[in-house]
Structure formats: structure tokens, C-alpha cells
Amino acid sequence: MSPDNRPIPGVMDERRRPLIRRPATDSGERPFIVIWEVTRACDLACLHCRAEAVPDRHPDELTTSEGEELIDQVAAFGTPPPLFVLTGGDPIKRPDLLHLIEYATARRLPAALSPSATPLLTARAIAEVRAAGAVALSLSLDGDSAAVHDAFRGIPGVFGRTLAAWEAAQACGLKVQINTTVTGTNSMALPGIAHLVRDRGAMVWSVFFLVPVGRGATLPQLTAAECEDVLHFLYEVGAALPVKTTEGHHFRRIVLQRAMLERQGIAPESVMALGPLYHALRAALGPWPSGPGRRRSPMDVNAARGFVFISHTGTVHPSGFLPLSAGNVRQRPLGELYRESPLFRALRNPAAWHGRCGRCEFAAVCGGSRSRAYAATSDPLGDDPLCAYVPGSFAFTEARAAVAP
């Protein structure tokens, strides 16, 4: 079996669930999640925007019929179908959006939408998305107040519209995912956002670790030590709130390390570096339930390894944050590009990685951010600069053996 689909023997939580989940199918043959950027048009001016979105639609976007063909290709991956996310820009800027959702639903694809909180995102629009067959909606919340979030999004009123859309989505039966991009400027908003998500309810809180691409290239990043602090904080938040990370793949290492220490009754601060940001976040969080609670086992998915991104013009990328293309669905089917592209095959092969990521004993469940490696070094197979871990430094053999070949 390929490295990305090896089981993790014996690594279970208290309820006999795997600490790290693997896709049920071979990630070298088919993706777990497909994200299609249906348009780059958006009326917001977010400071971190990967897409560098503009208000108007691009004339070379995939047409409706090309979108239908793409959906057919995603459905052709078989059963169980990949998760299918329509994103942007702002997908509501496409007049054929409801048709595309209906078409995907007819092909038995679980369709989710990732819109922008503009005046277009009304309760009626959300209800129509649900009626068309969408099963989930993801909304961005990058601050715990209007002052923080609206400054991040570049336009006033977005925080209030996001909360209203959240309520409307839940009212019509859509699952809601809340996305938060963490940077060097808004990290102290995380405790407040955690409370908002827990109080209002969500399927999952997804914390994005900034990749310096698009407009995000000008934003201050966390240091590697601060990233480690945030990951430890998220692990503890996960006791009462389902949490996942995007471009923070070393969260899976943290989950394994913390679980091993808990089983042996060892305080994490006695063997791991928990720095000032962790302590500030934990203090700001205040009282929080502990124990297994609602802890969500992270999924072992990475760029080109269970994940594929299609741009508004049909180019195929390992991630929306990794601007290297494997080809275009206008010239070659998505399945062929995913399986056969030299770029995708290299990204799925830990033996091809360089530096610390190539030497790390946790590579089989982490792999680092290939997108951030490329942004930092122009080498997608290099080190993830936001990881502070020194390979071989965690002395607890149970965790290390769990990810051994």
C-alpha cells in the first residue's frame, strides 16, 4: 500500500477511534477533496487573499458546460465520492451557481460552498443554495469582533454579515464550517473566536496558517515557535470543539505527541516547548472543558495527496496556495492529471522531500506545507519554515513507532 494510505497501527484514542484518520481510498489514485475556484470575482478586499480577487469575473473562466464536464470528471473518481467545494473569489458572483450545485448533486457529489460575506449573501441566497442540494457552507471569521475581522477583510460590516449568514445557514439545515486565517496580527483573537464557534455551534473550526502568496505575501507571519504554540492551543481547544488545520499539517504530529504524553501522565510542558504565545492564548481562553470530549481526529490529507484544486480558468494545482500547475482540464481529464502528473507524484513521495521534512519520522502523517515550502524557497519539496520540530527529538517511541514504515 502506498505511504499515504498506510494504517497507523495501535494509535487510538480513549474511544478506540484513530488519532489520525486516513482516506478510505488510495490517495495516489483519487482525491479525498476537490476544490474548484469557480470565479476570482469578489467584492471584498481581504488582506490575505490568495486569489488577489477583483470585482469583475474573468472572461476566460470555465463556462457552464465546461463546469458540467469538470463535475462529471470529479464524479468519475467513484464511490465514495470526493468532497466537492465550490469556492472563489465569491462563487455567488456566478449566475449559474445554483445550476452547478444542482448538477453536482445529481452526480451524487456532496457539494459545499465557500462564499464571501458580501451583501449578495442573503438568507434567501443561502436557502436557495440549500434547495439546490448543497450540504455545507464555510464562512470566514478572522476576528472575534467587528474591529478585528472587518479590518482583516478590508470592508466594514463583514463581521455582522458573517454572523447573520451563519444563523441563516443553520436555520435551513446546512452544516457550517468556520474558517480562520491566523497571522502575526490576529493570533490573540483565537480564544474569542473559539468561544464564538462553541457557543453558536459549527461542524468544525478550521484554522488556516498563512501561506505568503497573493496579497498575503505582505502580511506578517507567525514564527515557527509561535506556530507551535498555536497548535498546542488548538489541541486543547479540541477537547470541546471539533478543530482542524489547513496548511498546518504538523498539527497531526502535535496530536500524536500530546496523546502519547497523556497516556503516560506526563505534562507536555515538561518535555515540549510551550512558549509565551501559548500561555497568553490559554489565559485568554479562560475555563475550558478538558478530556476527549468532541475531539476531532485530523485527516491525513496534503497537497496532491488527497487534495486537488482547480482554478477559475481550469488549471490544476496541488493546492490553492501552491501556484504550480499540473495542466488544464480543458486539455486533459482531471483524473489523469491527478494520478500521472510528475508534480503530483513527487509531492506524494516522502523520499523526494528535502531537509528536515525529508528526515522527519512524522513525515508519513505530516509532510509539512508544500505550499509554504514553495513560497519560502521556490522548492515545493523543501522544508516547511513554520515547523519548529527537530527530527528525532521526541523520545517517546510509541509515537515514533506509530508512523514508522
Per-residue pLDDT tens over the stretch 210-222: 998 766 567 788 9
C-alpha cell at 33: 477533496
Confidence category of residue 3, pLDDT binned at 50, 70, 90: very low
In a domain, 312, yes or no: no
Q: Which of 241, 258, 209, 265 is nearest to 19 (CA)?
A: 258
DSSP 310: E
How high is the pLDDT of residue 6? 41
- Strand ranges in 94-191 using DSSP code E only, listed in sequence order: 111-113, 136-140, 175-182
CATH number at residue 216: 3.20.20.70
In a domain, 342, yes or no: no
What mean pLDDT do residues 44-67 have? 78
pLDDT, tens only, 346-356 = 999 988 998 89
How high is the pLDDT of residue 89? 87
In this prediction, what percent of the chain has a pLDDT beyond 70?
89
pLDDT at 386 over 70: yes
In a domain, 72, yes or no: yes
What mean pLDDT do residues 379-399 have? 86
pLDDT at 64 over 90: yes
Chain centroid offset of residue 54 CA: 23
| Burial grade of 156 (CB within 10 A; 0-12, 13-18, 19 or more) | exposed
In a domain, 169, yes or no: yes
Confidence category of residue 56, pLDDT binned at 50, 70, 90: confident
How high is the pLDDT of residue 337? 98
pLDDT, tens only, 107-160 = 999 999 999 999 999 999 999 999 999 999 999 999 999 999 888 887 889 999
Confidence category of residue 295, pLDDT binned at 50, 70, 90: confident
In a domain, 92, yes or no: yes
- Report the predicted TM-score, pTM, of the whole model to 2 decimal places: 0.91
How high is the pLDDT of residue 46? 65
Tell me the one-letter amino acid at 179.
N
Angle between helices 224-237 and 190-200 (to 10 degrees): 20
In a domain, 339, yes or no: no
In a domain, 402, yes or no: no
Mean pLDDT (the chain, rounded): 89
Please give the C-alpha separations between residue 4 and each of 173, 184, 294, in angstroms, as whole numbers. Answer: 34, 32, 26
pLDDT at 11 over 60: no
In a domain, 52, yes or no: yes
Cβ neighbours around 405 below 10 Å, total: 8
Residue-number span of the structural domain to which 191 is assigned: 3-303
State how many domains the chain has: 1
